[in-house]
Amino acid sequence: MSTFKAPKGTYDLIPPESAKYLAVREAIAAPLRNSGYGYIETPGFENVELFARGVGESTDIVTKEMYAFETKGGDQLALRPEGTASVLRAALEANLHKAGNLPVKLWYSGSYYRYERPQKGRYRHFSQVGAEAIGAEDPALDAELIILADQAYRSLGLRDFRILLNSLGDQECRPVYRAALQDFLRGLDLDEDTLRRAEINPLRVLDDKRDDVQKQLVGAPLLRDYLCDACKAYHEEVRELITEAGVAFEDDPKLVRGLDYYTRTTFEFVHDGLGSQSAVGGGGRYDGLSEMLGGPALPSVGWALGVDRTVLALEAEGVSLELPAATSVFAVSLGEEARRVLFAKVTELRKLGVAADFSYGAKGLKGAMKNANRSGARYTVVAGERDLAEGVVQLKDMESGEQVAVGVNEIVAELETRLG
């Protein structure tokens, strides 16, 4: 061990565990790639103002959780706490919305940073795969994203997750509701911070995790009773489309999210095996965000799924992913000539797409066979001077333990056949 440890609230992905993270990212991305979403990558940091405006000045993310800093050149930057604001910024900057092909559909995968109190499932550095569909108001698009996330989780073998769905209304109906909720909140016994929050962003009080607050919220007015006809019809169609797709969901009239930009469709994926860090992903519609960033009106919808918590959910359900073997063939050579011959064979196998590895470093047969075992390879090829003199190598099936001599010139073809 060195003097250094990973910073508080972070952890390293290390083989063989790290393969699970790659597989989760891949499983979430696959349905997106298959549905017209193009890959986008943005910087790990942005101007802090992008998040202040894009995520919301009064949100926990901006007030408490952001890694904001000044550079030596005097720029005010922040490590990205989430993906949507950056992706929309990049799409606007590249004028993707002017290419005449709306919605612009994008997916991303990367690291995010929040200065949170670390606990299981809550880290200061975590990883998300996300999708954004920019520039179209169409209930089928909201439905598409929910269906694709459901498909991603199911393809991983997850079963114990639930989809919570709500509508947050729009610029027409939400202000009326907001005022009604504020009236209600002013009459409650709340601490000063929460009362202040009720003035700035009353909807977020609904999301308060504390029991004493939740108890007082029992009779709170619900947005669902205030939705305008357009929002009601829109929401009804989203519900119908995902129902027709066979995706189960629960209406959650109190669901709000920790970001200010959401309008209409809002959803969260929760997993019942994760304790208090139960949200594995979330998203919704953000029709006003583009204008908040100085862009044109571009109604949009998206989600972000947490990779770390998805891995925890897999563990909670006891799902083991079928990961492809890292190594199929392991070569063990004894002596200088065998070393050269087998090294060449390994190179040849790799070119053919066979996952092959080699016993490096001077070590005896015993140590080399230990390496072969640890590699998880299905076959080991062993050769020494005597084998080569006879023009053969030894091919060992690591499952059955059976060993046969195969001609040096035939070994590559033989392995290809055996590995199918």
Chain contacts with ligand ATP (rule: CB under 6 A):
82, 114, 116, 121-123, 126, 128, 257-258, 277, 279-282, 304, 306, 308-309
Q: Which is nearer to ligand ATP, 107 or 226 (CB)?
A: 107
Q: Which is nearer to ligand ATP, 108 or 379 (CB)?
A: 108
Look at the block and give the residue holding tokens 């050769």: 383
DSSP summary character for residue 87: H
- Give yes or no for a contact between 90 and 104, defined as CB atoms under 8 angstroms apart: no
- Give yes or no for a contact between 141 and 103, defined as CB atoms under 8 angstroms apart: yes
Shortest CB 206 distance to ligand ATP, Å? 13
Pairing of strands 329-333, 356-358: parallel
Nearest to 105 by CA among 136, 81, 146: 136
Shortest CB 382 distance to ligand ATP, Å? 46
Look at the block and give the residue holding tokens 């797709």: 245
Shortest CB 125 distance to ligand ATP, Å? 8
Closest residue to ligand ATP, judged by C-beta, is 306
Shortest CB 163 distance to ligand ATP, Å? 12
Rounded Cα distance between 132 and 143, Å, is 13
> Token pair for residue 320?
């083991």
Report residue 68: phi and psi, to 5°.
-105, 145
Shortest CB 150 distance to ligand ATP, Å? 15
Q: Which is nearer to ligand ATP, 31 or 121 (CB)?
A: 121
Rounded Cα distance between 412 and 188, Å, is 76
> Token pair for residue 251?
């209406």
Q: Which is nearer to ligand ATP, 61 or 181 (CB)?
A: 61
Q: Which is nearer to ligand ATP, 116 or 414 (CB)?
A: 116
3-state secondary structure of 197: helix
> Token pair for residue 412?
């590559």
Nearest to 177 by CA among 221, 231, 234: 221
Look at the block and give the residue holding tokens 């993310």: 61
User: b/e string for 268-280 if b means 16 or more Cβ within 10 A?
Assistant: bbbbeebeebbbb
Shortest CB 247 distance to ligand ATP, Å? 18
Rounded Cα distance between 154 and 135, Å, is 28
Shortest CB 281 distance to ligand ATP, Å? 5
Shortest CB 82 distance to ligand ATP, Å? 5
Q: Where are the beta strands (DSSP E) in 10-54?
A: 38-39, 45-47
Q: Which is nearer to ligand ATP, 153 or 379 (CB)?
A: 153
Q: Which is nearer to ligand ATP, 257 or 285 (CB)?
A: 257
DSSP summary character for residue 165: E
Shortest CB 328 distance to ligand ATP, Å? 34
Q: Which is nearer to ligand ATP, 316 or 354 (CB)?
A: 316
HSE of 61 in the Cβ direction (CA atoms, 13 Å)?
A: 25
Q: Which is nearer to ligand ATP, 126 or 226 (CB)?
A: 126
